[in-house]
Amino acid sequence: MIYNQKKKERVWNFIKGIGKIPITISVLSIVAFLYDFGFEHEPSINKFLHTVYYMVISIGAISLAARYIYKDFRPALKSIPFDLLLLLFYTLLITEHNGYHTPGFSGILKYHFWIYIAIFLVFFREFSAIRIELKRAVLNPAQIFVLSFLSIIILGSFLLLLPNATITEISLLDALFTSTSAVCVTGLVVVDTGTFFTEFGQIIIGLLIQVGGLGIMTFASYFGYFFKGGSSFENQLVLRDITNSDKISGVFAILKKILIVTFLIEGIGAVMIFYSLDSSIIPSLADRIFFSIFHAISGFCNAGFSTLPNSFYENAFQFNYPLHLIVSFLFILGGLGFPIVFNLLKFLQLKFKSSSLFLIRKKHRITNPRLININTRIVLITTFALIVGGTTAFFILEFNNTLASHGLTGKIVTAFFGAVTTRTAGFNTVDTRALNISTVLIVMFLMWVGASPASTGGGIKTSTLAVALLNIVSIAKGKNRLELYNREIPKNSNDRASAIIVLSVIVIATSILLISFFDPEKGLLNISFECVSAYSTVGLSRGITADLSPAGKLVLIFTMFIGRVSMLTLLIAIYRKISTEAYRLPTENILIN
DSSP string, 390-458: HHHHHHHHTTTTTTTTS-HHHHHHHHHHHHHHTTTT---SS-GGGS-HHHHHHHHHHHHH-S-TTSS--
Q: What is the CA radius of gyration of the chain?
A: 26
**Which pLDDT does position 512 carry in this prediction?**
96
Q: What is the pLDDT confidence band of residue 548, given thresholds at 50, 70 and 90? A: very high
Q: Which of 119-123, 145-149, 224-228, 376-380 has the lowest mean pLDDT?
A: 224-228
- For residue 590, the model assigns a pLDDT of 76
User: Looking at the predicted structure, is the pLDDT value of residue 333 above 70?
Assistant: yes
User: Could you tell me which of 514, 497, 504, 512 has the C-alpha nearest to residue 537?
Assistant: 504
Which residues have CB under 8 Å from 115's CB, separation 6+?
50, 53, 54, 57, 93
Say which residue, 373 or 472, is predicted with more confidence: 472
Mean pLDDT of the chain: 80
Of residues 149 and 3, which shows the higher confidence score?
149
Task: Give the pLDDT confidence of 285-323 residue by residue, as tens digits.
Answer: 988 999 999 999 999 988 889 999 888 988 889 999 999
CA distance 358 to 367: 11
**C-beta of residue 421 within 8 angstroms of C-beta of residue 324:** no
Tens-place pLDDT, residues 346-363:
777 777 776 666 555 555
pLDDT value of position 7: 54
C-alpha span between 83 and 238 (Å, rounded) = 28
How far, in Å, CA of 327 to CA of 323, rounded? 6
Q: pLDDT for 235-291, tens place per residue?
A: 444 455 445 555 545 555 666 777 788 889 999 999 999 999 988 888 889 889 999
Asked if 153 and 183 touch (Cβ cutoff 8 Å), the reply is: yes
pLDDT at residue 221 is higher than 50: no
CA distance 542 to 548: 12
Helix axes 141-160, 216-228, angle to 10 degrees: 110
Distance set, CA 10 to CA 5, 17, 225 (Å) = 9, 10, 28
**217 confidence band (pLDDT: 50, 70, 90):** very low
Amino acid 435: pLDDT: 92
Q: Count CB atoms within 10 A of the CB of residue 518.
A: 17
Q: What pLDDT score was predicted for residue 245?
A: 53
- Residue 516: pLDDT band (50, 70, 90) is very high
Between 398 and 579, the more confident residue is: 398
Least confident range of 462-476, 506-520, 573-587: 573-587
pLDDT for 440: 93
Listed in sequence order, the DSSP H helices in 80-192 are 80-97, 113-128, 141-160, 172-183
pLDDT of 224 above 50: no
Closest CA to 342 of 299, 372, 317, 303: 372
Which helix (H) or strand (E) element contains residue 229?
none
CA dist 472 and 463 (Å) reads: 14
Query: Which residues is 512 bridged to in the sheet?
Result: none
Task: Give yes or no for residue 582 having a pLDDT over 70.
Answer: no
Per-residue pLDDT, 134: 52
pLDDT of residue 231: 47
Express as a percent the part of the chain with pLDDT over 70.
78
Q: Give me the mean pLDDT over the 45-54 stretch.
A: 81
Question: Which residue in 43, 39, 30 sits closest to 123, CA to CA?
Answer: 30
What is the Cα–Cα distance from 445 to 390, expressed in whole angstroms? 10
Q: How far apart are the first and last CA of the chain?
A: 81
Is residue 591 over pLDDT 80? no
pLDDT tens digits for range 17-35: 555 777 778 788 888 888 8
**Residue type present at position 400:** N
Confidence band of 447 (pLDDT split at 50, 70, 90)? very high
The whole-number average pLDDT for the span 219-248 is 47
Residue-wise pLDDT for 66-83, tens only, equals 777 766 666 666 667 777
Q: Is the pLDDT of residue 340 over 90?
A: no
